[in-house]
């Protein structure tokens, strides 16, 4: 009976608009929730087949709901360096804190578009809701090994407490020194020149390289030749390198380094004329690169005039430092800053991408799980591919537009009232039909 179908259609309309009101209420309630993705209800008509001319049966309406995960809210600045947001479609890999605490090796992958991470008592970065940030651990030298991109096997909870103290050993020393040309002339009485250069050992202790420059004094003319000996305090002032230095005396290039030859029995490594670096063993064997300049180059060791001038002596490395703060750069590298003035990469946080973000399964606390509808995930370097860059000191606001939701709420209320009126009218018409029989 067509009146009965009208009644059923009205009830379907009430249910559909009630579903829409539920999504609207959820959106408005989460208008201040960071990273919240707007829910949406869509209506589809239901057609009942078999109707003929003058005999129409109402099919009604059906509501379907979805979450627009690919919609992003605006980014705002914060004061916490580990507040992280993404300026693209990528998502942060996280896992439940309960899974980390269980320590059974099972860390289910969950995704977030933004999060405020802070170290807990164990130094693990997690949100107030218990989501733990995952990343690839860096090697002691700060480099990140290659990990597979289609599995979470290499991901670990990002922890900073284990790196609270760190040393930054010296790996390279640069020497910009002028040697007096007069010291290599016949009759010169110069005994040579000595100087010390500090470097930092593996354990952060201060050690010293003692350099001695001894000129070759000829019987006549000028030799323009020096012998460089290098001794290491960490090895009891043992000889770790000895080299013969020859300088150019020609026009235009006079005073520049011409050749470097390891002395007979030299305990150090070879000299590379392409880079200007010679290598000596310190601390019982660790290689230390010393940049003395390339042959013919204007920088490094020179021999002009009559004065010994250490123009530039520099080195990398630093003593043991205490962790002061950490930050996250645009490429997802979690780096620690130490009070000794150096930084070190601890982890790299990749960004997760799936073919269909709206197919992800939504969970509480603005987290999502991969599903068949979303497609398989892939781990990208932040800043590469389609994922966008990572933004520290920032959070993503809710994607809810409150004004638009209020407008939809008014429309939904009117549609609900209209469907209720349809039911009331159909009921009255059925009552009239019943009264005809009486």
Taking residues 159-166, report their average pLDDT.
Answer: 78
Q: What is the b/e burial string over 140-161, where b = at least 16 CB atoms within 10 angstroms of the residue's CB?
A: eebebeeeeeeebebbbbbbbe
- Same structural domain, 175 and 309: yes
For residue 333, tell me if it sits in a domain: yes
Can you give the pLDDT at residue 166?
83
CA 195 – CA 290 distance, rounded (Å):
14
Can you give the pLDDT at residue 183?
95
pLDDT tens for 386-412 read 999 999 999 999 999 999 999 999 999
Can you give the pLDDT at residue 436?
83
pLDDT tens for 214-245 read 999 999 999 999 999 999 999 999 999 999 99
- Same structural domain, 254 and 391: no
- Same structural domain, 178 and 312: yes
Q: Which of 7 and 22 is assigned the larger pLDDT?
A: 22
pLDDT tens for 328-340 read 999 999 999 998 8
Taking residues 322-332, report their average pLDDT.
Answer: 93
For residue 186, tell me if it sits in a domain: yes
Taking residues 82-87, report their average pLDDT.
Answer: 97
Can you give the pLDDT at residue 4?
81
Q: What is the value of pTM for the model shown?
A: 0.80
Taking residues 417-427, report their average pLDDT.
Answer: 92
Of 300, 316, 332, the last residue of a domain is 316
Is residue 288 over pLDDT 60?
yes
Can you give the pLDDT at residue 434?
82
Can you give the pLDDT at residue 68?
96
**Mean pLDDT for the chain overall:** 93
3-state secondary structure 339-369: CCCCEEEEEECCEEECCCHHHCEEECCCEEE
Can you give the pLDDT at residue 165?
81
For residue 73, tell me if it sits in a domain: no
70 pLDDT band, cuts 50/70/90, is very high
Give the other-Cβ count within 10 Å of 131's Cβ.
Answer: 24
Helix axes 2-29, 402-437, angle to 10 degrees: 160
- Same structural domain, 52 and 185: no
For residue 134, tell me if it sits in a domain: yes
- Same structural domain, 310 and 381: no
Can you give the pLDDT at residue 162?
61
For residue 209, tell me if it sits in a domain: yes
CATH code, 302:
2.60.98.20
- Same structural domain, 282 and 374: no
- Same structural domain, 184 and 312: yes
Is residue 176 over pLDDT 60?
yes
Can you give the pLDDT at residue 403?
96
For residue 201, tell me if it sits in a domain: yes
- Same structural domain, 389 and 403: no
Q: Which of 117 and 160 is assigned the larger pLDDT?
A: 117
Helix (H) / strand (E) containing 418: helix 402-437
CA 257 – CA 276 distance, rounded (Å):
10
Is residue 1 over pLDDT 80?
no
Can you give the pLDDT at residue 142?
86
Give the other-Cβ count within 10 Å of 213's Cβ.
Answer: 21
Can you give the pLDDT at residue 98?
93
Range(s) of the domain holding residue 156: 78-164+321-396
- Same structural domain, 250 and 386: no
Q: Which residues contact residue 220 at a Cβ distance below 8 angstroms, ignoring those fewer than 6 apart?
A: 186
- Same structural domain, 198 and 160: no
Distances (CA, A) of 300 to 223, 257, 293: 20, 8, 4
| Percentage with pLDDT > 70 across the chain | 98
Number of domains in the chain: 3
312 pLDDT band, cuts 50/70/90, is very high
Can you give the pLDDT at residue 2?
75
Can you give the pLDDT at residue 167?
84
CA 182 – CA 189 distance, rounded (Å):
10
The candidate with the shortest Cα–Cα distance to 83, out of 43, 112, 51, 45, is: 112
Are the CB atoms for 236 and 219 separated by under 8 Å?
no
For strand 172-179 and strand 302-303, is the pairing parallel, antiparallel, or unpaired?
parallel
58 pLDDT band, cuts 50/70/90, is confident
- Same structural domain, 308 and 234: yes
For residue 227, tell me if it sits in a domain: yes
- Same structural domain, 206 and 287: yes
Of 316, 337, 352, the last residue of a domain is 316
């Amino acid at each position: 009976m067509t009146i009965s179908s009208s009644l059923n259609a009205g009830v379907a309309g009430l249910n559909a608009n009630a579903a829409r009101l539920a999504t609207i209420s959820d959106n408005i309630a989460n208008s201040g929730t960071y990273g919240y993705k707007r829910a949406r209800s869509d209506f589809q008509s239901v057609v009942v087949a078999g109707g003929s001319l003058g005999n129409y049966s109402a099919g009604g309406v059906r509501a379907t709901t979805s979450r627009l995960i690919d919609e992003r809210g605006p980014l705002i600045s914060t004061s916490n360096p580990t507040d992280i947001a993404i300026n693209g479609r990528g998502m942060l890999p996280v896992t439940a804190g309960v899974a980390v605490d269980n320590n059974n090796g099972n860390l289910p992958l969950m995704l977030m578009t933004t999060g405020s991470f802070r170290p807990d008592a164990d130094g693990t970065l997690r949100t107030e809701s218990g989501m733990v940030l995952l990343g690839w651990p860096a090697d002691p030298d700060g480099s990140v090994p290659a990990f597979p991109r289609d599995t979470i096997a290499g991901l670990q909870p990002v922890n900073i407490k284990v790196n609270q103290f760190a040393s930054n050993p010296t790996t390279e020393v640069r020497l910009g020194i002028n040697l007096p040309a007069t010291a290599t002339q016949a009759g010169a009485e110069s005994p040579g020149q000595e100087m010390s250069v500090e470097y930092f050992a593996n354990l952060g202790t201060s050690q010293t390289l003692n350099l001695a420059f001894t000129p070759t004094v000829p019987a006549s003319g000028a030799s323009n030749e020096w012998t460089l000996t290098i001794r290491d305090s960490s090895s009891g002032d043992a000889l770790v390198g000895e080299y013969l230095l020859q300088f150019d005396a020609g026009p235009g290039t006079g005073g520049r380094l011409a050749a470097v030859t390891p002395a007979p029995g030299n305990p150090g490594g070879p000299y590379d004329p392409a880079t200007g670096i010679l290598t000596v063993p310190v601390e019982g064997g660790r290689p230390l690169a010393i940049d003395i300049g390339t042959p013919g180059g204007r920088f490094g060791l020179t021999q002009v005039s009559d004065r010994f001038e250490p123009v530039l002596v520099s080195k990398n490395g630093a003593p043991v430092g205490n962790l002061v703060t950490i930050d996250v750069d645009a490429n997802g590298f979690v780096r620690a800053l130490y009070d000794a003035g150096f930084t070190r990469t601890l982890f790299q946080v990749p960004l997760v991408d799936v073919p269909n973000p709206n197919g992800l399964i939504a969970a509480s606390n603005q987290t999502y799980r991969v599903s068949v509808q979303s497609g398989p995930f892939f781990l990208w370097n932040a800043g590469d591919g389609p994922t966008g860059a990572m933004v520290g000191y920032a959070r993503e606001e809710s994607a809810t537009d409150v004004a638009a939701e209020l407008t939809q709420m008014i429309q939904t209320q009117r549609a609900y009232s209209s469907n209720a009126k349809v039911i009331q009218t159909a009921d009255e018409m059925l009552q009239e039909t019943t009264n005809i029989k009486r």
